[in-house]
Amino acid sequence: MRKLICSVLFALIGFSTLAQDTNRTLLTIGNEAVSVDDFLSIYNKNRAVGEDLDPKTLDEYVDLFVNFKLKVKEAEALGMDTVPSFVKELAGYRKQLAKPYLVDNEAGEQLLTEAYDRLKHEIKASHILITLAADATAADTLKAYTKIVKLRNEIVKGADFSSYAKKHSQDPSAKENAGSLGYFSAMYMVYPFENAAYNTPVGEVSEIVRTRFGYHILEINDKRLSRGEVKTAHIMVKYPNPSGQNSVEDVALAQKKANEIYAKLTTENADFDEMAKQYSDDKNNSSTGGVLPWFGTNRMVESFEDAAFSLVNTGDLSTPTETPYGWHIIKLIDKKGLGSFEEEKAELKIKVEKDSRAHVRRTSLVNKLKKEYNYTENKSAVNEFKHPMSKLLAMSKTSFVESTKNMTKTIFTIADTDYTQVEFAAYLTKVIRKVKSKSSSSNLVDEAFTTWSEDAVIAFENKNLENKYNEFRLLMQEYRDGILLYELTDAKIWSKAIKDTTGLKEFYQANKQNYMWDTRVDAKVINCQNENIACKVYKKLRKGCTDLSKFQSQVNKKSSLNMNVKEGLYLKGENSYVDQVEWVVGVSELIHDNDNVKVVYVKEVLAPQVKALSEAKGLITSDYQDALEKAWLVELSTKYEVVLNTYVLDLVKNNKLAELDVVVEPTIPTYSGHFVRAFGQARRKLGSSKDVVFDWYGNLYTTELNKN
């Protein structure tokens, strides 16, 4: 049975130690103690995120936390924390969470500053690529390098870069664009390529640079101040077919419609938002006036981008602009340049962590950790592998087992942990199996040792993260509990509610009066370009002609903008024009909407009625899940004992948590007289518990009632 025990007194045994070491326990759930410090870390983090949306008092959050932990405790009891899929998923999360701790943040700050400074300019460059795999043989590497050196030398002497790019570059797009990459800024290309672009003067050819794609040389064509970003809206007249598959007639028809819209915007001062809602084919944003997210250089189709950046003043419109997807009329909403370093820092940090420049941070961290953990290295023990490696490569063998079986020396030490030649031999065995050529055995051993030792240093740090960083320990606990909670809740609540069709139907039948439609109308909203057309529509509807499709085809022969019909079931607030008319069957009076005229035809008025299960299934399912969860929590609360230290909680509420750092010997109540009477008095006064004690003539007893 779940009990919330006010911990006025604790058990006598080890009381002095308890006052110093465990008095920071706020909760005990089952056999798990939760310290007030851990609880407050989680509480403050969640409050910072959710305070504005759904503020909670401390007591409310304690209840939520207890419910959360009860579910986690049940998941553990079911062994869900030992399931291989869970172990694998948690390991994956840990790998991601550990990344920020396994790089040098100081070096990261330098990279952020560098990236920010580069973002102030955009580089226009062309390149020539000679492809090379990351694990290429020495022979293939030399061949590719020799080729790129030859090309660079000839270009430096006067050969045309564009012609050479078309002829020699192994970038598939080079034959079409002569190696041109257009303008780009920092964080757009891989880091080594970006370095070459920003470190080479305009008009010159870069030094040879290697990336994961191969060897490159760059010609820097221009460098300009960053254009920043623009926020725009657009009205799109979409081509009926994919790019390159539209006929001349398709293109002309789309252009004609775009020109008509543009004319209404510029000569008749039509409202852009309204025109976008009525005529734009971009359904992702037409309902919001065609508004697009902010974008900068090299983020949109070039013709669209150039047209957008050419607009000067807020509200300016472009002429109809063609892209491979159709025609666009673009409206400038806002422009912005690069913000201050502090304003851009958070987003830059995310990009840097995902970028190849993160390797710089890793290498810097390794060097710092070697000092911190007193890393020592036995270089002679490494060199002993070079002769066996040479022999193995010559014989095309791939195992060090026989040739290194007598090697047992320590090869390096991290803190008090030794790494031996035996371990390095096993690592080299894996390396040599991937070697495609008889490259220098000396270089191969040195490169392998560098990689192996650096990985070992990082792995050592990784293993100690929970002990070294309290915030990491808490974060891992949060993820672990979160995964368990999700898996169990899915099985007990979410999936069950979806799959349990019988239970869902029974819940719906018992609660269906909670799912009602308000009064609705089945109506048509006819938008007409002028009053003349609207009058004709009005007359037809008055005569009982409710099928307007033929009339619409005739009217729209001259312009597809003349008449549009939208039909559906409407609640109050769903359509402003439907809201304006009286909800009775029939035709409304004309509604003037700037130059357009609307006519509303009410086909039927539907009285309030219970929604069918299919009409509100999402909401009903959600409510059924809530009901299942409430019943489940009642069950869990009887299964696991919860002990709340209200003394510590009160200290938190009154901002007096520092008092816990003061060791106070507990005052034990004393009772006298007959023991039965003394026990009864103590029990009535202090409550019955194995954790509550009293003094009776120098002897200590608990107030727990022995039922035996």
Look at strands 326-336 and 229-238 and give their pairing. antiparallel
Distance CA 233, CA 701 (A): 78
Asked if 363 and 135 count as a contact pair (C-beta separation under 8 A), the reply is no
Please report the pLDDT score of residue 281 as a whole number: 93
Per-residue model confidence (pLDDT) at position 392: 66
pTM: 0.51
Which pLDDT score is estimated for 399? 64
In this structure, of 377-391, 481-495, 512-526, 593-607, the range with the lowest mean pLDDT score is 377-391
State the Cα–Cα distance between residues 368 and 346, nearest whole angstrom.
25
Secondary structure (3-state) at 563: strand
Backbone phi, psi, residue 296, to 5°: -125, -165
User: Which pLDDT score, from 0 to 100, does residue 15 have?
Assistant: 33
Q: Which among 707, 692, 703, 652 is positioned nearest to 5, based on CA atoms?
A: 692
Contact 671, 678 (CB under 8 A): yes
Cα dist from 12 to 85, 649, 681, 691, 693, whole Å: 44, 21, 19, 8, 7
Q: In what order do the strands lie in the sheet with 321-323?
A: 229-238, 326-336, 321-323
What is residue 300's DSSP assignment?
Answer: S
DSSP labels, 104-137: -HHHHHHHHHHHHHHTTEEEEEEEEEEE--TT--
- Confidence class for position 708, pLDDT limits 50, 70, 90: very low
Query: Residue 1: what pLDDT?
Result: 32
Is the separation of the CB atoms in 226 and 155 below 8 Å?
no
The C-alpha atoms of residue 222 and residue 228 are separated, in whole angstroms, by: 17
> Between 68 and 385, whose confidence is greater?
68
**Which of 411, 412, 420, 422 lies closest to 373, judged by CA?**
412
Cβ–Cβ under 8 Å, residues 707 and 16: no
Residue 586 tokens, joined: 């029939």
3-state secondary structure 55-103: CCCHHHHHHHHHHHHHHHHHHHHCCHHHCHHHHHHHHHHHHHHHHHHHC
Chain-centroid distance, C-alpha 447: 36
Interval 147-152 mean pLDDT:
96
Average pLDDT on 558-582 reads: 93
Q: Residue 630, Cβ neighbours under 10 Å: how many?
A: 9
Query: 399 and 429 in contact (C-beta within 8 Å)?
Result: yes
Q: What average pLDDT does the segment 192-210 reach?
A: 96
Residue 392 contacts by C-beta under 8 Å, 6 or more apart in sequence?
398, 399, 400, 403, 432
pLDDT in tens, 160-189: 999 999 999 999 999 989 999 989 999 989
The predicted-structure confidence for 9-38, as pLDDT tens digits, reads as follows: 233 223 333 333 447 899 999 888 999 999
| Overall average pLDDT of the 252-258 stretch | 95
17 CA to centre of own chain = 45
- As to burial, measured by CB atoms within 10 angstroms (0-12 exposed, 13-18 middle, 19+ buried), residue 613 is middle
Residue 663, token pair as written in the block:
């060791």
Residue with tokens 């030490």: 413
Q: In Å, what is the CA distance from 669 to each residue of 167, 413, 689, 699?
A: 96, 58, 15, 12
Helix (H, G, I), strand (E, B) or coil at 617: helix
| Range of weakest confidence among 79-83, 634-638, 660-664 | 660-664
Rounded Cα–Cα distance for residues 514 and 519 (Å): 15
Mean predicted lDDT score pLDDT of the chain: 87
Percent of the chain with pLDDT over 70: 91
Instruction: Tell me if residue 540 falls in helix, strand or coil.
Output: helix
| The total number of residues written for the chain in this structure | 708
Residues 6 or more apart whose CB falls under 8 angstroms from that of 36 comprise 24, 25, 26, 645, 648, 652, 657, 660
**Domains identified in the chain and CATH numbers:** 121-225 (3.10.50.40), 229-336 (3.10.50.40), 373-465 (no CATH), 517-610 (3.10.50)
